[in-house]
Amino acid sequence: MSTQNGKAVYKRILLKISGEALAGEDNSGICTRTLASIASQVRAVRDLGVEVAIVIGGGNIFRGVAASAIGMDRASADYMGMLATCINGLALQDALEKQDCFTRVMSAIEMHQVAEPYIRRRAERHLEKGRIVIFVCGTGNPYFTTDTAASLRAMEIHAEVLLKATKVDGVYDDDPVRNPQARRFEQLTFMDVLNRELRVMDTPAISLCKDNNLPIVVFDLRRDGNIERVVKGEPIGTLVTSGPLG
């Protein structure tokens, strides 16, 4: 993939944003400054003519896996986590609409007063009309992460790439915070990720992308303008594909 004189190289993308990313430096809750920054970046991408769908997590409010580890029923904990993603989705919708972006929140769990029910064809129609679509409540089922929901939704709407926005600038062979010698990968294959058990996305999400040949770009969301850089094909972060790699 190469840049095209500043133009977008993708027509439709799925952006996966963790709940923790919305917390900013506070590490919990929702930081309005961070929301505004993300919304501004998404607007810049939309202005390039790119159709943008977003899957958002809820870890800044509630993590189902963590709650189940201390004794809560896993299914109940996961449903609580899904509701947290809805709170984040509504907050992001508000920030985007303040940037003059028409936005729809679509939920895998029906809650008509605050979000549309997820219907694949309706989601695609929103995208075709230039609306930004935020998918919340994961897949609507416990035991599945928002990573898996992102992979699933990306394939359902025929996204050309899954953009995994994180707090680090790519995929490393070790934790770069604890190990300054950790090496960052520029490119990986799905089999590399699975065999090395690298922390890109969970195994079901990686397997779904592998089986359907959906590339993933892992990049640092905290650097302003990075979403636009990725969409324009600039070589930032880590690209995960089926390979072989050159």
The per-residue pLDDT for range 8-63, each reduced to its tens digit, is: 999 999 999 998 888 877 677 899 999 999 999 999 999 999 999 999 999 888 87
Residues of the chain with pLDDT > 70, as a percent, come to 96
pLDDT of residue 244: 61
Q: Order of strands, edge to edge, in the sheet holding 161-166? A: 116-117, 103-107, 132-136, 51-56, 12-17, 161-166, 216-220, 238-241, 187-189
pLDDT at 122 exceeding the cut of 70: yes
Name, in order, each residue with C-beta under 8 angstroms of 97's C-beta and a sequence gap of 6 or more: 103
Is there a cis peptide before residue 204, judged by omega within 30 degrees of 0? no
pLDDT of residue 4: 53
**Which single residue is written with the structure tokens 């898996």?**
148
- Residue of 85, 91, 87 lying closest to 153 (CA atoms): 85
pLDDT of residue 5: 58
Mean pLDDT of 216-241: 94
**Which single residue is written with the structure tokens 């028409």?**
102
Strands 51-56 and 12-17: parallel
The predicted model scores a pTM of 0.92
- Residue of 217, 212, 213 lying closest to 233 (CA atoms): 217
Name, in order, each residue with C-beta under 8 angstroms of 162's C-beta and a sequence gap of 6 or more: 13, 14, 16, 150, 151, 154, 209, 214, 215, 216, 217
How far, rounded to the nearest angstrom, does the alpha carbon of residue 93 sit from its chain's CA centroid?
15
pLDDT at 136 exceeding the cut of 80: yes
Q: Residue ranges per domain, the chain?
A: 12-241
The CATH label, of 3.40.50.620, 2.30.31.20, 3.40.1160.10, 3.30.1540.10, for the domain at 12-241 is 3.40.1160.10
Handedness of CA 16, 145, 127, 214 (dihedral sign): positive
